[in-house]
Amino acid sequence: MIRYSEQHIDHEDISKVVKTLKSDFITTGPKIPEFEKNLSKKINSKYSVAFNSATSALHSACIALGLKKNDWLWTSANSFVASANCGLYCGAKIDFIDIELETFNIDLEKLEIKLYKAKKKKLLPKIIIPIVFAGQSYDRDRLINLSKKYNFKILEDASHGLGSKYKNKYLGSHKKIITVFSFHPVKMITTGEGGSAHTQNKKYYEIMKSVSSHGIVRKKNHLNKGINHLLYEQRYLGFNYRLTDIQAALGISQLKKLNIFIKKRKNIAKIYSKYLDNKNLILPTEKKYAKSTFHLYVVLLKNHPQKKRNDLIFFLKKNKIFTNIHYKPIHLQPYFQKLGFKKGDFKNAEEYYEKAISLPIHPNLKKRQVMSIIKKINNFFK
């Protein structure tokens, strides 16, 4: 059986977790700040906050950016629902941006038109959440220019993108953007479940850090030096979004192998791109400004109805090759249709959804397995 993705856990990972389990702290201990420090060092962010999920990180980042009831948050129609839900948690109103059919990231031309119309109606978004889809960055400089013109803040959902670069700089290092990563088992590294948020802004960092732990801030009172570590006060309505030391220990060990994981994914992507049938399939493209991690390898069927795509999925499953679909457009989810969205609202995302398949790609995949997948797919079209 070949899964579309899976975690890679080795003896070093297990050893580090066991060592932490035997230590004095299995949560709120020294491994969490160590993990945060290592993440910051890796991607050149000034501040990092570890969370129990990327969803928690997105929600906390929305709070740090001041998102409130009846504000507007816009995100890509092609993403996991968490990219929109984080705004709903704050009482905000949600709208979507259609995608381009080359990278499957937000279409910045469509966005600019949408912003122009929203300004006339005084309905501009407070936050826009672009998606780093499959590990490839959108055109960040262009989005930043739009943010200056229309006065919105950028919260980057790079759940697919730890180790990705835009113009040779790691995502997570920009001074104007909060960037969120995911450490779910299928992502670039894993902590079981987990995520992180990265910023160069001390205020945002302090809010996110506090919100992740019930909104509590430790008091600094020089008159009580002997018991400072026992004093705290709640300043925000926070949550228990903390990562454990057990998870952080795994993350520290996994982070050391990030470059190896990315290299393996890139090699698999090269094999797919060289040998897959490009007469019947649209293969991924990589923009000059972006260096992708290839968290996903998504192909689209050319000029085939959704039924044909589904037939390929079932054909591969019969051959014990398991694929996936990323994603059903958020506006087509039943919950969001109750909010007023409907089919036809974001046509590129819908067209993409009807043709897309995520092929297996992960560090455990062997070349012979990749070639077997390619052979099966190419035979399907004969």
| Residue-wise pLDDT tens digits, 104-141 | 999 999 999 999 999 999 999 999 999 999 999 999 99
Share of the chain above pLDDT 90, in %: 94
Task: Read off the pLDDT of each residue in 82-92 and give the average, rounded to a whole number.
Answer: 98
> 258-380: what fold?
Aspartate Aminotransferase, domain 1 (3.90.1150)
CATH 3.90.1150.10 maps onto the chain at 258-380
Task: Read off the pLDDT of each residue in 211-220 and give the average, rounded to a whole number.
Answer: 88
Question: What CA–CA distances, in Å, run from 328 to 50, 72, 341, 350?
Answer: 28, 22, 14, 8
On whether the 11-255 domain is CATH 3.40.50.620, my answer is: no
CATH 3.40.640.10 maps onto the chain at 11-255
Question: What CA–CA distances, in Å, run from 269 to 75, 147, 153, 158, 378?
Answer: 27, 33, 33, 19, 16
Q: Cα angle vertex 48, ends 165, 213, to 5°?
A: 145
Helix (H, G, I), strand (E, B) or coil at 188: coil
CA–CA distance, 199 with 154 (Å, rounded to integer): 11
Task: Read off the pLDDT of each residue in 340-345 and give the average, rounded to a whole number.
Answer: 98
Helix (H, G, I), strand (E, B) or coil at 63: helix
pLDDT of residue 225: 61
> What does pTM read for this prediction?
0.97
| Residue-wise pLDDT tens digits, 276-328 | 999 999 999 999 999 999 999 999 999 878 889 999 999 999 999 999 999 99
The 3-state secondary structure of 68-119 reads CCCCEEEEECCCCCHHHHHHHHCCCEEEEECECCCCCCECHHHHHHHHHHHH
